[in-house]
Amino acid sequence: MSIQIIRLFGDPVLRTPAEPVVDFDRELRQLVKDLTDTMMDAPGAGLAAPQIGVGLRVFTYWIDGELGHLVNPDLELSVELQDGEEGCLSFPGLRFDTPRALRTVAKGLNQFGEPVTIEGSELMARCLQHETDHLDGILFIDRMDREQRKAAMRAIREAEWAGGPTPTVKLSPHSTFGRGM
Q: CA-CA distance, 97 to 79, in Å (whole number)?
A: 18
The single-letter code of the amino acid at 154 is R
Which position among 66, 80, 131, 158 bears the catalytic label? 131
Is there a cis peptide before residue 43, judged by omega within 30 degrees of 0? yes
Phi first, then psi, for residue 36 (nearest 5°) are: -65, -50
Using DSSP's 3-state secondary structure scheme, residue 39 falls into: helix
Q: Which residues on neighbouring strands pair with residue 152, listed in sequence order?
A: none
Which residues on neighbouring strands pair with residue 60, listed in sequence order? 47, 69
**Which H/E stretch holds residue 30?**
helix 26-41
| CB atoms near residue 179 (< 10 Å) | 19
Strand partners, 86: 96
- The answer to whether 21 and 105 have CB atoms below 8 angstroms apart is no
> Is 85 a known active-site residue?
no
Residues catalogued as catalytic:
131
